[in-house]
Structure 1
């Protein structure tokens, strides 16, 4: 691999291109490198695969409750029907007119008060929903930061990838461990776990100085890339079948998968 290609791969342009942050000129340059150099194409495919691993279980759902029907139309208005069958004197008619005016004024006052009350309640709903939306945005930003951090760790050249496949006790079991001894980080991606009886579970262990240290319980319902405790100088990883809730001592006779670490 020539120095020009090495410089290009170390520039970070591939990662920037994959995340959609390159300019038109940068995009043309990157696509030209991918087309002309197999080394660049392989690096791009690896980055794309790692991004899919990180993102596959971190989908961000859109908010379920969006602002709906803020204002309601009031189609009906108070109607006062007057049926007169007799003639009244002028002063009596004036009295009736004043009474009607008072009723209309009272009706309008009630209508305005009721409308103001509804608007006040609707405004409060809007305020509450805006607060919820801001909270959702903050949570989504935190999730995005976590995804980007995982993506960064996966693409660190010091991160080693270990595939753990099940033995005859759990043929379909498959998990992938990512360990970075320099940054002292460990992650595991649960790809497939055969179903166990309710009274049993899968537990992952680190082999250290002749003893097994628990790194947690693995669950089919928790299929996502997640961090596990980093164990300094670990010689290997082992997955066993244990009683529900986990065990304090590894049941090595029930081991279903193991690997040796570099």
Structure 2
């Protein structure tokens, strides 16, 4: 792989492109590299897979639909139909028409006053929703930044991927560990965990110099990419079945999965 490709892959542009954070010029540059260099295409395909992994733990609700709210308000606004008045030939009926017009003017004035009050109230609500929308945008930016940072971690050449499958006691168990000894970070993606009785749980351990160090409890309800403690010079990862709440000492007789890190 030549220096030009290495420089591009380490620039972070590919990750930004994948989450839609590139400028038009950057987008053009990335798409040129993807179409021209197979190494970049392969890296892009890997990133797409990694994005699926991190997306599970960064789901964000869509912002409130301000447009629909406005349209609903418009739909509720009454339509005033102008009806033609009869032409009276006799002059004395003009006084009746004048009285009617005065009453209509008074009623219309009251109606528009009420509408103005309602509009003022709706404006306050609309302003509040605008602020809520700004908060949503800020939260979305934070979530997008979190996705970007996790993508960088997963795409780091120093990050090793370990697929942990269950043994005969838990055939459906599957988790994926991502360990970076350079950055001293560890993450685990819980793919599937067979159901256990309420009084039991799964616990993950690092085997270190003849000792088993607890790295936390795995929960089917928390199927997402999560950080776990980094164990320096760990020889293996083990998953055991323990009493609810976890155990201080690993029950190796209840081991359901193991993978070597060496």
Task: Choose between structure 1 and 2 for higher RCO, CA contacts under 8 A separated by at least 6 residues.
Answer: 2
User: Are residue 179 (structure 1) and residue 176 (structure 2) matched?
Assistant: no
Superposed, 1:167-206 pairs within 5 Å as 167-206=167-206
User: Which one of 9, 15, 19 corresponds to residue 5 of structure 2?
Assistant: 9
Change over 3 Å in CA distance of 1:172–1:120 after alignment to 2:
same
User: Which one of 27, 32, 36 corresponds to residue 32 of structure 1?
Assistant: 36
Looking at structure 1, the residues matched to 32 and 102 of structure 2 have their Cα atoms a distance apart, in angstroms, of 78
Q: Which residue of 1 aligns with 2:212?
A: 212
Superimposed CA distance per residue, residues 36-78 of structure 1 (whole angstroms, 9 cap, x where no aligned partner): xxx555444433433333335534442354441234322369x
Q: Which residue of 2 aligns with 1:70?
A: 73
Superposed, 1:46-195 pairs within 5 Å as 46-63=46-63, 65-67=65-67, 68=69, 69-71=72-74, 72-75=76-79, 103-104=103-104, 106-195=106-195
Q: Which residue of 2 aligns with 1:251?
A: 251
Superimposed CA distance per residue, residues 239-260 of structure 1 (whole angstroms, 9 cap, x where no aligned partner): 1112223233322221111223
Looking at structure 2, the residues matched to 177 and 229 of structure 1 have their Cα atoms a distance apart, in angstroms, of 12
Task: Tell me if structure 2 keeps the 8 A contact 1:17–1:27.
Answer: no
Displacement of 1:163 after TM fit? 1.5
Displacement of 1:170 after TM fit? 0.4
Displacement of 1:106 after TM fit? 4.5
Looking at structure 2, the residues matched to 53 and 188 of structure 1 have their Cα atoms a distance apart, in angstroms, of 10
Displacement of 1:100 after TM fit? 6.5
Displacement of 1:204 after TM fit? 1.4
Displacement of 1:9 after TM fit? 3.3
Looking at structure 1, the residues matched to 199 and 151 of structure 2 have their Cα atoms a distance apart, in angstroms, of 35
CA RMSD of aligned residues (A): 3.1
Q: Which runs of 5+ in 1 are unaligned?
A: 78-89
Q: Which runs of 5+ in 2 are unaligned?
A: 82-91
Looking at structure 1, the residues matched to 197 and 43 of structure 2 have their Cα atoms a distance apart, in angstroms, of 42
Looking at structure 1, the residues matched to 27 and 164 of structure 2 have their Cα atoms a distance apart, in angstroms, of 40
Instruction: Give the 3-state SS of the residue equivalent to 2:110 in structure 1.
Output: helix
Instruction: Give the 3-state SS of the residue equivalent to 1:259 in structure 2.
Output: strand
User: Are residue 238 (structure 1) and residue 241 (structure 2) matched?
Assistant: no
Superimposed CA distance per residue, residues 152-202 of structure 1 (whole angstroms, 9 cap, x where no aligned partner): 011112212111111111011111111112211110011111111222221
The TM-score with structure 1 as length reference comes to 0.76
Instruction: Give the 3-state SS of the residue equivalent to 1:139 in structure 2.
Output: helix
The TM-score with structure 2 as length reference comes to 0.76
Looking at structure 1, the residues matched to 31 and 100 of structure 2 have their Cα atoms a distance apart, in angstroms, of 77
Looking at structure 1, the residues matched to 237 and 9 of structure 2 have their Cα atoms a distance apart, in angstroms, of 35
